[in-house]
Amino acid sequence: MSRIDTGNLTETLPDDLPEEVFEEIAGDGATRIERIVSCGHSSAPGFWYDQDQNEWVLLLRGAARLEFEDGNQKVDLAPGSYVNIPAGVRHRVAWTAPDEPTIWLAVWYGKRLEG
47: left (phi over 0), alpha (psi -120 to 50) or beta: beta
- Put the strands of the sheet holding 91-96 in their side by side order: 74-77, 64-68, 91-96
Mean pLDDT of the residues in the chain? 92
| CA-based max dimension of the chain | 50
Q: What's the confidence (pLDDT) of residue 81?
A: 98
**81-108, pLDDT tens digit by residue?**
999 999 999 999 999 999 999 999 999 9
- SS3 of 88, please? coil
Delineate the domains of the chain, giving CATH numbers in brackets.
Answer: 21-109 (2.60.120.10)
**68-88, pLDDT tens digit by residue?**
998 779 999 999 999 999 999
Tell me what percent of the residues of the chain surpass a pLDDT of 70: 96
